[in-house]
Amino acid sequence: MIENLPEGQRIESSTRPIVGSNGVFWAIRVERDSKGLGVVYLWVSRHEKINAHGTLYVGPADPIKFGDNEDFDINVICIGLYFPRLDPDCVIWINVMFTDLKRGTIFVPLAINDFIRDFNHYTPDAKIVVDDKTFDVHRHLLCMISPVFQAEFAYDTGESKTGTVKITDFDFKTIKNVIDYCYGRDHEIKTVLDCVNLLRFADKYDIRIIIKMFEPLLYDSISLYSFCEIAQYAWDSDQLDEPIGCVTKINAPTVHTFMTDSDHYSTDAQIVVGDQRIDVHRYYLSLLSPVFYNEFKESTTDTIQVPDFNFSVVQNVIDYCYGKVVTIETLINTVNILRFGHKYSIPRVVEKFEEAILEDLSKDNFCSIVQYAWEYKKADLKLKCADFYRSNYDCIQFTPDFLTMDSAIIADVLRLASSVEKPEEGKSYITARNPVNRQPPTSYSKLEVSG
């Protein structure tokens, strides 16, 4: 078999993702070198300080153990052995563990206001009245935040009919701080008294995330000037726990944090992807996306079918919108999440995930990012791609992905690359993380052979 294989051509296993990496794949390759000998080696799609250890088995030969291998500075991790021929019934298999991985891209949660600040399709539908001042709010967000607000809005009450809640026992500043914090907007919680009033409101309306996040601040704020205020809060609220330290930074809450600390507001709809379902809150999704808003409005059931994205993509988008930390391990998943964000008009998803693909631009993912940039007419991203191509054309222009790309896109990339200004002296363009994928050298360091 190997003697009939032309020099430079190879046989390889199916490529598989390295779990936990940032979109790196691996395979076992067999090829014939210039001396006519066959060689078996472990290949990875990107060489970025990845180490591997394990055992390689080739036919009847003794197994080869490898680990902490030297850096070949190419896409080769381990060299198996050389042989003049390979039996047709020979089996090659490997037991391998990869280490020192560059982990997938982690997307940190956003506050509720980050998702809804630019939308006008779902205007506030309730009011909080304090003296002669009014807050416009979304009633279903208040229901999600507080079981007390839910009781006021969900049943046949005056508040439910009018959409108005009158509050007489707290001042305007306190309520504004509560609403701003819950939405994830800038607030004016600066003094111990501000914090105590915030906690009093949270205690009455059972907003547990506020108590959880702000109460520890009081422990390190006790002084001659603040003692009475803090003591009064502690006795009134029956909070006599020992100090647990000081929170130096209060993060904006997310829907996930509200749901974690309270189970009063259960899901009421589902997104269906194939035979799998994701439980959601219809009004929250309607708030995030005008497309979801219209689909729920027109639907006779509490389900939405999503036929053109796989379950993993949809689950990751929903988790991110709910405020969970999301880790995306491959570029194709990131691009599909971007496509979902475009289709369902969730601009904050598009904005944050585009930042990630720009940071990870490389020879291996260049064509995928180019196709996304041109499909969605992303002018800034097009220029970034053109800049990258101009600096790295020698390791891009003859790759199969580039050669099979739409000819109009290729022409546009070349046109833009030719118009990119030269860098200033002492500066350089973006350079490829993984330059030209050279063929394995004709000689390798001998690995330890067991047995």
Domain positions in the chain: 2-104, 123-261
The three-point CA angle 204-175-243 to 5° equals 55
pTM tops 0.95:
no
Q: Which helix (H) or strand (E) holds 159?
A: helix 158-162
Of the candidate CATH numbers 3.30.710.10, 3.40.30.10, 1.10.3210.50, 2.60.40.10, the domain formed by 123-261 belongs to 3.30.710.10
Contact 62, 451 (CB under 8 A): yes
Helix spans in 206-346 (H)? 208-219, 227-237, 255-261, 282-288, 290-298, 311-322, 331-343
Three-state DSSP at 23 gives coil
The three-point CA angle 347-351-353 to 5° equals 115
Encode pLDDT of 128-178 as tens digits.
999 889 989 988 888 888 999 998 887 788 888 898 999 999 999 999 999
Rounded Cα distance, 179 and 198, in Å? 10
Most confidently modeled of 85-94, 208-217, 304-313?
Answer: 304-313
Encode pLDDT of 208-241 as tens digits.
888 888 877 766 555 544 555 555 655 455 443 3
Tell me the chain's radius of gyration from C-alpha atoms.
29
pLDDT band at 242 (very low <50, low <70, confident <90, very high): very low
